[in-house]
Structure 1
Amino acid sequence: MLKKFFVALGAFWIIAASAQQDSTSLSSLNLQPMPRHQQISQVVTGLLNSEAYHKVEIDDELSKKVFKEYLAAVDYTRSFFLQSDIDRFAKDELKLDNYLQDGKLAFAYDVYNTFLMRAEDRIAFTRTLLEDSMDFSANDSFEVDRETSPWSASKSEWDKLWTNKIKYECLSMIATGKDWKSTSDVVRKRYDNYERQLKKMKSEDVYDIFMNSFTTIIDPHTNYFSPRVAEDFNIGSSLSLEGIGATLQTEGEYTKVREVVKGGPADLSGKVLANDRIVAVAQGDTGEFVDVLGWRIDDVVSLIRGKKGTVVRLKIIDAKAAVTDKNKEVRIVRDKIKLEDQAAKGEIQEIKRGKTTYKAGVIKLPSFYYDFQGAKSGDKSFKSTSFDVKMIIDSLTKIGIDGLVIDLRNNGGGALLEAIKLTGLFIKNGPVVEVKYTDGKIDVESDNDPSIAYSGPLVVLVNRFSASASEIFAAAIQDYGRGIIVGEQTHGKGTVQTVADLNPYLFLPKGENAGQLKITMAKFYRVNGSSTQIKGVIPDVALPSLYASKEFGEDESPYALPWDQIKGADYTKTADLSAKRSQLVEAHNNRMKKNNAYKFLLEDVTSVEIARNRRYVSVQFETYKREIDKNEKEKKAREAQIEKLEKDGNYQKDLILREGLEVLLDFKLIKS
């Protein structure tokens, strides 16, 4: 499904609604394309046709896909449009390829203006519903997952859908003890705010949505950035953000966390994860929560961002929570995100086996970083992943360690060069990754330094959010037989992007900006010839994941580039670990049979899968209340169990790390 408007929380946009906007109805906004949009459409279409790694025919098949994605982007929950609207739009379903090539945008704006008209109707309907107390005694339900549901075929069907939708929104408060007046006030304000947000929509915003509905068909990492979004993307890339350190996107009426910046305040809180949805924001420790459902993402950003050292509180729907679970509240102190916050850090962890205590070095690596400015200036001690890890390894080996763990969990990647150089710290020399470009050319990137920083037992920890450069390093360690990979299947991002300014391709009046195009231009392959795309890296010792579903991986998008294979590079394995691997897996399985944290993890995986596949929730008070009470009771019982087990020393908070250490020790002790 198309993901829209992702921005880093370093951006600061203030869009003030004019008095005229406040008094203007949504249906009379009549947004229209700007003159430059025609040129941009033609240039973007041409560039994607000639420069994209994955060539897509600009034809009727593409037109159908753009049609589907654009409607999904505008009305994600299929709650605003009527089937009659869709039937009218469908007359242009096979013409969008021509419209894009010719720069004709009337269709895109007709769809959005119709959406504004329907939104105006539904907001008015909601206000009417909230005038009197609603009846929660009927045995009705609300469809919470409407991604593939039909649009309403009639006014009565439409009203029924919205009545149950508003009941659902009210029940989440009434079931926790709020009275009707305070509940209806919250929901009314929510839709008042939503209306104000829609009135702020500009021509540029509609164009953004439409063009990204096209670019996502090429592949999910190809994006058009309007001038405003391009500016924010560049700020985000500089790692000098004063906010919470997260990347957001709009999904329907929700503001969703797309990615958490390693070392940032959100990451350090331990409570904000990718795919969480932010529903309210409050300033300081005592400020009132502002409901942000349906807000423009730039306005949500302006609420979250603020001065360094100040507090912001978020109400969040947990990505893995049941639809009836309470929202979690997260307190975060805003801070500036600096390169050093993402630097490698090392420590010693002890592993007890019988009467013997072993020491393991653990290096936590949040990202693959490289100080380009420092390198350019000739600073011999400039910050880089490989330099810092080498220093940490030297320090750990002086102390004396029995093995080393490299922790790449939640490491979304970074500098390719550093993934290569880091691999070189553990192998003598040889190829690390193959890169295939748009023109079919294949480059083999190698480590040419014969020195080795560490030759002892090695374990690499990964999870679903280990991506890109992390996958290159983990794959190389696995292919060379240099170490054991422990954890979850990785993300599966095996593509390379570049960002191009569009202004040089257009003739625009002075001062106008066309924005940027982020385009996929290459693909990564392991030294054995297998792509890391989609499949990622499968651990040697695998643990179940709460984030195993497609929505947390590269294959979330139906347009993700496929996995494939090319001829492998010429490399020599450090060791053949196949026999040892079988013994390590057997020892791991035996440990897990008696591990309480593992037992709870399996229970949670089942619960999350049930919650993820759930489409309907009751809006009958007694049924709804029973469910939230049951969920709360189970949650408290689990917390009590964990507290008792922790007191008895029978619970591991970080299962992957603790099991990684056990596997490391097995790796050292098992004789092949």
Structure 2
Amino acid sequence: MNRKLPWIVLLLSATLHAAEPQVATPLQPAATQAEAAALSARLLGRFHYQPTPLDDALSARILDRYLKALDPERVYFVQADIERYAAARTTLDDAIREQDLRLPFEIFALYQTRLRERLALARELAAGSFDFSTDEQYRFVRTDEPWPANEAAARELWRKRVKNDWLRLKLAGKDDKGIRDTLTKRYDSLLTRATRIKSEDVFQTFMNAYATSIEPHTNYLGPRASEDFEISMRLSLVGIGAVLQERDDYIVIRELVPGGPAARSTQLAIGDRILGVGQGEQPPVEVLGWRVDDVVALIRGNKDTVVVLDVLPAEAGPDGAHKKVKLVRDTINLEKQAASKSVIDAGPPEAPRKVGVITLPAFYQDVAARGAGGDYRSASRDVARLLRELKAEGADAVLIDLRNNGGGSLDEAVRLTGLFIDTGPVVQQRSAQGQIRVERDADAGQVWDGPLGVLINRASASASEIFAGAIQDYGRGVLIGEQSFGKGTVQTLVDLDEMARNSKPTYGELKMTIAQFYRVNGESTQLRGVSPDIGLPSLLDADRFGESGFDNALPWTRIDPAPHKAAGGIPALVPTLQQRHLARIANDAAFRNLQQDVTEVAAQRKKLDISLNEAERRRERAEQERKLRANANAADEDNGDDGLLAGERSLDAELAAEQLRKKAPDVLLNEAARIVGDLATLQRSEANVAAGGRRSLN
């Protein structure tokens, strides 16, 4: 993704009690937000890849997406609320142009009112009891359902919703008191989080409804979201090296980053609660009940400055003794989000193969450090280093794992491809004006010229698809996994403050689609993605997840191929690789269990309703547990549905579950490594035959 768009600058330089819901003061838009919206509209209308006029038609789409963002399951608003704002279908465009955002904020105020009412009702219902012997159904998938017709319909919907929450906990073994306490706490927590919403949250939600109404990958980033994006691209920040989480009004330390100031101090532990944050010699600001992002903003700062934490140790009770912990901020490298390597022993005993696996979570690049001309961190640099290490360790083949890699820097996709090809075009870009630009690898030579595989899934998108497509087009490696996401568009970040000549971040940034990219074979990855040479089963719903799940995705198109010289060989080997893969998984119990899971998930996905009859649910639960016991992939400690939501389990239980998931065998990765091991065997055999042929001719 391009970081800046300077030519545009030149052109435009001219805690509440749920049983007694209180009425909160409605949030109001700031003048700077209205100015940012109007400035964004000028950009989107003139420089977007698909320029869309801000008119009544777009206004209607903005309203629909805004309502969906606020109430995606259609459980808060009723039909009368939607009709109340029918006029907004033709006036939101005017509101943006005229810099008057009172209307979207008014809609949000109504949403908050309805949320308080529904959660007060939920708490009231949880205080009562339910009859689980009746035969009734609860429709738990409501994204395509109509809004409740009236308040009576909304109350009935919530009665079934709370009844289902209660039944899940009952089936998990909780008694009535435990269930009532859990649900009361749950609904109070939801309400508390709703009261912490700020004006900038409302504005960002509305602006993203506007941006994504034009095209799915155009977004607005407020100042804080923009900062977080920068951190994710450079894989570093200045702070104390602690991962924080909200739990019961406390900010709790969930993880300590090895080597960071917090870990080095030895004064902090997982589970400690942060009650206050101070700067240098200033007294700490109390943060009890704060949002975690607000606390993080206080803790981050400039390198080598002092931050003081008021901490309640994990083992202490609510009235326990506090301690003050003074830390010096330092640069924290986010190694978990960086490229990493491992080795899998693949292949049969008679022909063992050592497959080096490089897992790449994102295509990151520290743009600022690179621009300054110094050393900088990037995905391609890290992968090049890991490839050299694997070569030194005697790896027979390499597998690049791009599963769940949503993309990042376009430049890094080109540079990463260059590690595996000599020279040549990697990707083509077409602008809105139809101009074609070819991005090339101009550095001769390959860091790794041996057997190569690329593992993708439905969540592999954008830069991942550029890399995977180029490897396939050059015949350089075998693609394994699922059809990728299908995001074939290029975005740039436009700094709205830079355009407005603001000295401090106020307006945020606009991530705007400016081009579409194409493989060197001329085909776009847009909508269709990249198809693997050898497919693996998927638990994801390809119809709903991926570019094809958007209702306004750009269409698939084709342009002329870019002249390139394919290495050849891989297409001819794919049938043999596929044959060996099928023969192997036919005798692999873990793989068969995975395929059964896929079949079961697909069947469950079709269910929109669930029974609220206890006997029926117990029969369903028993059947699920029977399948779980028979499934070799399931961990012994997996006891099925405990009825709890994320954040309701103890921190120890959550961390233990995470460790179990990490230790669970990765069936797809292991099979992909075996396929690449087969590729190494076949390519070595071909090389031996070719060498023998040359000797016989000499």
What range describes the TM-score normalised by the shorter chain of this pair?
0.7 to 0.9
C-alpha separation between the residues in 2 aligned to 1:39 and 1:630? 57
- Deviation of 1:47 after TM superposition, in Å, equals 1.1
Corresponding residue to 1:408 among 399, 402, 409: 402
CA distance 1:132–1:302, shift in 2 (3 Å): same
User: Is contact 1:368–1:419 with CA below 8 Å preserved after alignment?
Assistant: yes
SS at match of 1:519: strand
C-alpha separation between the residues in 2 aligned to 1:552 and 1:511? 38
- Deviation of 1:521 after TM superposition, in Å, equals 2.0
- Deviation of 1:69 after TM superposition, in Å, equals 0.9
Is 1:660 matched with 2:660? Answer: no
CA distance 1:57–1:348, shift in 2 (3 Å): same
C-alpha separation between the residues in 1 aligned to 2:102 and 2:336? 47
C-alpha separation between the residues in 1 aligned to 2:19 and 2:634? 56
Q: What is aligned with 2:166?
A: 170
Aligned ranges for residues 426-441 of structure 1 at < 5 Å?
426-441=420-435
Q: What is aligned with 1:202?
A: 198
Give the counterpart letter for 1:567 in structure 2: D
Post-superposition CA distance 1:405-441 (Å, at most 9, x none): 3333333334333332332233232111112234433
- Deviation of 1:540 after TM superposition, in Å, equals 0.8
SS at match of 2:160: helix
Give the counterpart letter for 2:454 in structure 1: V
Corresponding residue to 1:417 among 402, 405, 411: 411
- Deviation of 1:164 after TM superposition, in Å, equals 0.5
Corresponding residue to 2:454 among 454, 460, 468: 460
Post-superposition CA distance 1:355-389 (Å, at most 9, x none): 33344444444444445566566667x65444444
User: Is contact 2:272–2:313 with CA below 8 Å preserved after alignment?
Assistant: no
Q: What is aligned with 2:101?
A: 105
SS at match of 1:93: helix
SS at match of 1:514: coil
User: Is contact 2:18–2:123 with CA below 8 Å preserved after alignment?
Assistant: no
Instruction: State which drifts further: 60-69 or 546-555.
Output: 546-555
CA distance 1:550–1:36, shift in 2 (3 Å): same
User: Is contact 2:18–2:116 with CA below 8 Å preserved after alignment?
Assistant: no
User: Is contact 2:233–2:408 with CA below 8 Å preserved after alignment?
Assistant: no
- Deviation of 1:496 after TM superposition, in Å, equals 2.4
User: Is contact 1:245–1:337 with CA below 8 Å preserved after alignment?
Assistant: no
User: Is contact 1:284–1:311 with CA below 8 Å preserved after alignment?
Assistant: no
C-alpha separation between the residues in 2 aligned to 1:657 and 1:461? 7
SS at match of 1:66: helix
Aligned ranges for residues 37-436 of structure 1 at < 5 Å?
37-240=33-236, 242=241, 284=270, 299=291, 338=333, 340-346=335-341, 348-353=343-348, 355-370=350-365, 383-397=377-391, 400-436=394-430
User: Is contact 2:21–2:117 with CA below 8 Å preserved after alignment?
Assistant: no
CA distance 1:668–1:83, shift in 2 (3 Å): same
Give the counterpart letter for 2:674 in structure 1: E
Corresponding residue to 1:534 among 524, 527, 531: 527
Post-superposition CA distance 1:227-260 (Å, at most 9, x none): 34334444444423645599x9xxxxxxxxxxxx
Give the counterpart letter for 2:573 in structure 1: K
Gaps of 5+ in 2: 1-14, 247-255, 259-268, 274-288, 300-308, 315-329, 637-664, 690-698
CA distance 1:186–1:196, shift in 2 (3 Å): same
C-alpha separation between the residues in 1 aligned to 2:482 and 2:364? 23
Q: What is aligned with 1:638?
A: 631
User: Is contact 1:344–1:364 with CA below 8 Å preserved after alignment?
Assistant: yes
Radius of gyration: which is bigger?
A: 2
CA distance 1:239–1:639, shift in 2 (3 Å): same
Post-superposition CA distance 1:434-464 (Å, at most 9, x none): 1223443322111223323343332222223
Give the counterpart letter for 2:399 in structure 1: V
Post-superposition CA distance 1:31-83 (Å, at most 9, x none): 33333333333222111101212222323322221121111112222112121
- Deviation of 1:139 after TM superposition, in Å, equals 1.5
C-alpha separation between the residues in 2 aligned to 1:565 and 1:31? 47
SS at match of 1:350: strand
C-alpha separation between the residues in 1 aligned to 2:667 and 2:589? 8
- Deviation of 1:149 after TM superposition, in Å, equals 1.0
CA distance 1:163–1:234, shift in 2 (3 Å): same
C-alpha separation between the residues in 2 aligned to 1:386 and 1:85? 51
SS at match of 1:353: coil
SS at match of 2:132: coil
Q: What is aligned with 2:597?
A: 604
SS at match of 2:121: helix
CA distance 1:473–1:652, shift in 2 (3 Å): closer
Q: Could you state the TM-score of these two structures normalised by the residue count of structure 2? A: 0.74
Is 1:442 matched with 2:436? Answer: yes
User: Is contact 1:63–1:96 with CA below 8 Å preserved after alignment?
Assistant: yes
CA distance 1:91–1:406, shift in 2 (3 Å): closer
Give the counterpart letter for 2:590 in structure 1: A
C-alpha separation between the residues in 2 aligned to 1:438 and 1:188? 53
SS at match of 1:356: coil
CA distance 1:81–1:233, shift in 2 (3 Å): same
SS at match of 2:352: strand
- Deviation of 1:654 after TM superposition, in Å, equals 3.8
Is 1:497 matched with 2:491? Answer: yes
Aligned ranges for residues 620-631 of structure 1 at < 5 Å?
620-631=613-624
Post-superposition CA distance 1:627-658 (Å, at most 9, x none): 23332332133148999xxxxxx995744434
Post-superposition CA distance 1:517-575 (Å, at most 9, x none): 22122222111111122322211111121125244423333233332222221112221
C-alpha separation between the residues in 2 aligned to 1:310 and 1:238? 33
CA distance 1:350–1:230, shift in 2 (3 Å): closer
- Deviation of 1:108 after TM superposition, in Å, equals 1.6
CA distance 1:28–1:472, shift in 2 (3 Å): closer
Q: What is aligned with 2:581?
A: 588
Number of residue equivalences: 582
User: Is contact 2:427–2:518 with CA below 8 Å preserved after alignment?
Assistant: yes
Q: What is aligned with 1:255?
A: none
Is 1:618 matched with 2:611? Answer: yes
SS at match of 1:112: helix
Gaps of 5+ in 1: 1-16, 249-262, 266-282, 288-296, 313-334, 644-649
CA distance 1:123–1:449, shift in 2 (3 Å): closer
SS at match of 1:523: strand
CA distance 1:237–1:448, shift in 2 (3 Å): closer
- Deviation of 1:615 after TM superposition, in Å, equals 1.3
C-alpha separation between the residues in 2 aligned to 1:546 and 1:138? 33
Q: What is aligned with 1:328?
A: none
Q: What is aligned with 1:9?
A: none
CA distance 1:164–1:433, shift in 2 (3 Å): same
- Deviation of 1:589 after TM superposition, in Å, equals 2.5
User: Is contact 1:243–1:304 with CA below 8 Å preserved after alignment?
Assistant: no
C-alpha separation between the residues in 2 aligned to 1:298 and 1:522? 41
CA distance 1:123–1:464, shift in 2 (3 Å): closer
